[in-house]
Amino acid sequence: MRLLTLSTLLLLSAIGYGQEGLFLRLYNENGKKFQTGYLIETTDSSLILKSSGKLKEIPVTEISQLRLRRSFGHIVLISVLAGGTAMAIAGAGSADPDNWILPMTVAEGLIAGFLLGGGTALAPGALISAARKRPVFEVRRDPQKWKELRLQLQRFLLE
């Protein structure tokens, strides 16, 4: 029992340590996304993000709009993949071509399980994603607005 408790605590601490922080999406004045990444630090005139394992410094003069967290489809995709994979493994493991009720091969069980699990996980993923708040901040390349936003972003870094 101690081993199970210890391994569970170790797994939970590894998951918590693996979280990279606040995810940001940056948009230019045309409304086009030009950079994404995890917030590392803010300065008086720039924003430092970690993207693809590299640190990138983006000047405030290039940022028109800043959006927190990932888009709607990201959570939906992750939930569909998680549910689909779990049910695909169960479907492949329970496949029996000699079964008289529902005969199917391993490949058919894999595909049926993925479709059933992914379809079932779609609704909860969409509900969670719809309920999640995604703040949008207008910077409009204005240093004064950036100073106000910087204070809010610093709070996220401290959490």
Domains delineated in the chain: 20-69+134-158 (2.30.30.100), 72-130 (no CATH)
With H, G, I as helix, E, B as strand and everything else as coil, classify residue 85. Answer: helix
pLDDT at position 110 is 93
Give the chain's count of helices (H) and strands (E).
4, 6
pLDDT at position 26 is 93
Neighbours of 53 (CB within 10 A): 5
Whether 128 has a pLDDT exceeding 70, the answer reads yes
Cα 80 from Cα 89, distance rounded (Å): 14
Cα 84 from Cα 30, distance rounded (Å): 37
| Cβ–Cβ under 8 Å, residues 70 and 60 | no
| pLDDT tens for each residue of 36-92 | 999 898 888 888 999 888 999 999 889 899 888 877 888 899 999 999 999 999 999
From first CA to last CA, the distance across the chain in angstroms is 33
